[in-house]
A and B are shown apart, each in its own frame.
Chain A
Amino acid sequence: MFYRESGQLKSSYIADQAMFPIAQDRWFVIGVLAVAFLVAPFFINEYWANAILLPFLVYALAALGLNILTGYCGQVSLGTGAFMAVGAYASFKLVGFFPELNFLIVLALSGVVTAAVGMIFGLPSLRIKGFYLAVATLAAQFFLVWMFNKVGWFYDYNLTGMITVRPIDFFGIRITGPEATPAAKYLFTLTVVAVLALSAKNIVRGRIGREWMAIRDMDIAAELIGIRPLQAKLSAFAVSSFYVGVAGALYFAVYLGSVEPVEAFDINQSFYVLFIIIIGGLGSVLGAFLGAAFIVLVPILLKNIMVGGMGFDSGMAGHVEILLMGLLIIFFLIVEPHGLARLWQIAKEKLRLWPFPH
């Protein structure tokens, strides 16, 4: 209905292959980014940043990473939590070694470290597939978290076993720790997430993205037309882990400030991110954001209704929340297993054809 596409002709391949070929989509995305960058920072407060926007952005980024691996390349991973931990600890150690290093570079290096670790744990994917691989990634989950918990070097032999972020300035603006303003934390995270999301969109539309999807859809055929499974799968593990690692670093350094590995990066964290991409939609960049919004907002909503509205004690509310999340996940999988992104896709198709039904 709102799609008025008549007259949007493409006279070059660049225009035809643009990220958002339909003008209305383009304007919508630009509008959202404009609001996110130019309007939201003026209204943000501690609660919005810590309860909603920062977790939303960080989980969206982690989900984006997992979606690259699972949604685009078809390799199920249950080790996301551990890879986030790698990113977190990498950034912690890097800041420790090079306190003057620009935090963007720290983030990038944390991502690279995580990518390397991801590739190592991705190696079995060449021999094993499906659930076997999923279970194998649990090895990474348990081993890495154990390692961060046991090996003192990682947490600087701190007695609590926790890591706490140092105050970091980014071009003179404090972005970590309690002194950083919510707006600064938010804007920094938003910038990183936006740039990485657009890059992901580019990657999945290009040669490498097609290789991943080919492997996902039919690995034997992909191999026989000249795609190297080794390269494709490992690149998916690497890129995916890079994103997850950066997300982990942001999770630790900007969002939480200090973490304890067993709690912050346990297997539930892996499931959490997996839920995001299932509910958001496998194989969709948009899906990572929709899923993250859903997963972050619904519990808040539930808690507000139950504790605020119905007067549950918070322990009971926690139990009910777990129950309801489970039900929601099952409901979603039954009704639309391809997630919110697919729902949006369908709605969009309908709007483009409106008033026609097909």
Chain B
Amino acid sequence: MTDEQTNETLLEVDAISLSFGGVHALVDVSFDIRKGEVRSIIGPNGAGKSSMLNVINGFYHPQEGTITYQGQARKQMRPHDAAAGGIARTFQNIALFKGMSTLDNIMTGRNTHMSKSLFWQALRIGPAQREEIENREFVEHVIDFLEIQSIRKTPVGRLPYGLQKRVELGRALAAEPTLLLLDEPMAGMNLEEKEDMSRFILETNDEFGTTIALIEHDMGVVMDISDRVVVLDYGRKIAEGTPEEVRANQDVIDAYLGVSHD
């Protein structure tokens, strides 16, 4: 938890319902995310966690409810508005741009901070050159932060899984997000990789004051790094609170901890 954490709400999800052709993915879910906290969304498979993230950054459009982000209430987000508004994310199944290098992948994260026109880019002098270099400098700091200097120019397709996950985090961080959505950042990782990833998540939260909302399966990790947890099951919110409170909640134990999911 950062020093800057206040009780100020960054994002509020209010009575969101989402369905696909009669299948209810989310039903009347409400919770908030405070500035500077690490907020986890947990729940068994199919509980609607990823759908929740997809709603927050505008990929899915809920039928009911509103999302209030930075004081602005919206019925639904548009992905680009979400990104421009400082919401960045990573994906459950790595969604890197396979044909590009680590550096270029992370540079795409700077996209919303770059604006120079095609004309200048074609000449690559003056403003476009400056803009490119300024953003490269920023990206190099991200690379340094994530300790991936040695793979800077490697095409991401050639990287092992754990490093790809890290590059993806880098791409999200390059956007200088206010709110960072992490969809199972540690899925499929070994213990060492998980520890590294936890460290990077906490340091991100710490150093840049980035608010983080994450979905994770590994309960140990969730309990370690979250400030508050919200629990979904079958698309409904069944509990919410600090890790300790959630751990003690009987509904949660029944729905999640007690039942052996994957």
List A residues at the B interface (Cβ < 8 Å): 13-14, 17, 199-200, 202-203, 205-211, 213-214, 216-218, 220-228, 235, 239, 283
| B132 close to chain A: CB less than 8 A | yes
Q: Which chain B residues numbered 141 to 163 have a C-beta less than 8 Å away from chain A?
A: none
Give CA–CA (A142, B84) in the complex, Å.
Answer: 40
A-B complex: 5 closest residue pairs judged by Cβ atoms: A226-B83, A221-B95, A217-B97, A199-B122, A202-B124
**Is the CB–CB distance between A207 and B104 below 8 Å?**
no
**Is the CB–CB distance between A207 and B79 below 8 Å?**
no
| Complex interface: chain A residues within 8 A of B172 (CB) | 225
Max chain B C-beta neighbours (<10 A), residue from A218, A235, A283: A218
Q: How far is the CB of A21 from chain B (nearest CB, A)?
A: 10
Write 16 A-B pairs (CB below 8 A) sorted by A numbering.
Answer: A13-B133, A13-B137, A14-B133, A17-B132, A17-B136, A202-B121, A205-B124, A207-B121, A207-B131, A209-B121, A216-B99, A221-B96, A226-B80, A226-B111, A227-B111, A235-B118
Closest chain A residue to B80 by CB distance? Answer: A228
| B45 close to chain A: CB less than 8 A | no
Secondary structure class of chain A's binding surface, majority of residues: helix
**Is the CB–CB distance between B108 and A225 below 8 Å?**
yes
**Is the CB–CB distance between A213 and B95 below 8 Å?**
no
| B109 close to chain A: CB less than 8 A | yes
| Complex interface: chain B residues within 8 A of A218 (CB) | 95-98
Q: Given A217-B98, A220-B95, A226-B79, does the pair A210, B118 have CB atoms closer than 8 Å?
A: no
Apart from the given pairs A202-B121, A226-B84, 10 other A-B contacts in the complex at a CB distance below 8 Å: A13-B133, A17-B133, A202-B122, A206-B124, A216-B99, A217-B98, A217-B100, A221-B95, A222-B108, A227-B108
Q: How many A-B residue pairs have CB under 8 A?
A: 103
| Complex interface: chain A residues within 8 A of B97 (CB) | 213-214, 216-218, 221-222
**Is the CB–CB distance between A224 and B79 below 8 Å?**
yes
| Complex interface: chain B residues within 8 A of A221 (CB) | 91, 95-97
Give CA–CA (A316, B172) in the complex, Å.
Answer: 60
Q: How far is the CB of B56 from chain A (nearest CB, A)?
A: 11
Q: Given A202-B124, A226-B80, does the pair A210, B132 have CB atoms closer than 8 Å?
A: no
**Is the CB–CB distance between A203 and B121 below 8 Å?**
yes
Give CA–CA (A226, B128) in the complex, Å.
Answer: 19
**Is the CB–CB distance between A208 and B83 below 8 Å?**
no
| B191 close to chain A: CB less than 8 A | no
Give CA–CA (A213, B99) in the complex, Å.
Answer: 8
| Complex interface: chain A residues within 8 A of B91 (CB) | 221, 224
| B257 close to chain A: CB less than 8 A | no
Q: Looking at the complex, which one of A206, A214, A224 makes contact with B132 (CB distance below 8 Å)?
A: A206
Closest chain B residue to A72 by CB distance? Answer: B99
Give CA–CA (A207, B97) in the complex, Å.
Answer: 14
**Is the CB–CB distance between B136 and A13 below 8 Å?**
yes
| Complex interface: chain A residues within 8 A of B259 (CB) | none
| Complex interface: chain B residues within 8 A of A17 (CB) | 132-133, 136
Closest chain B residue to A216 by CB distance? Answer: B99
**Is the CB–CB distance between B112 and A208 below 8 Å?**
no
Closest chain A residue to B89 by CB distance? Answer: A224
Q: Mark B90-117, 1 if CB is under 8 A from A, else 0.
A: 0100011111100010011111101010
| B167 close to chain A: CB less than 8 A | no
**Is the CB–CB distance between B124 and A225 below 8 Å?**
no
| B57 close to chain A: CB less than 8 A | yes
**Is the CB–CB distance between B100 and A224 below 8 Å?**
no
**Is the CB–CB distance between B99 and A210 below 8 Å?**
no
| Complex interface: chain A residues within 8 A of B82 (CB) | 224, 226
| Complex interface: chain B residues within 8 A of A225 (CB) | 83, 88-89, 108-109, 111, 171-172, 175
Q: Given A222-B97, A224-B57, A239-B118, does the pair A211, B111 have CB atoms closer than 8 Å?
A: yes
| Complex interface: chain A residues within 8 A of B118 (CB) | 203, 208, 235, 239
Give CA–CA (A205, B59) in the complex, Å.
Answer: 28
| Complex interface: chain A residues within 8 A of B99 (CB) | 213, 216-217, 283
**Is the CB–CB distance between B116 and A207 below 8 Å?**
yes
| B129 close to chain A: CB less than 8 A | yes
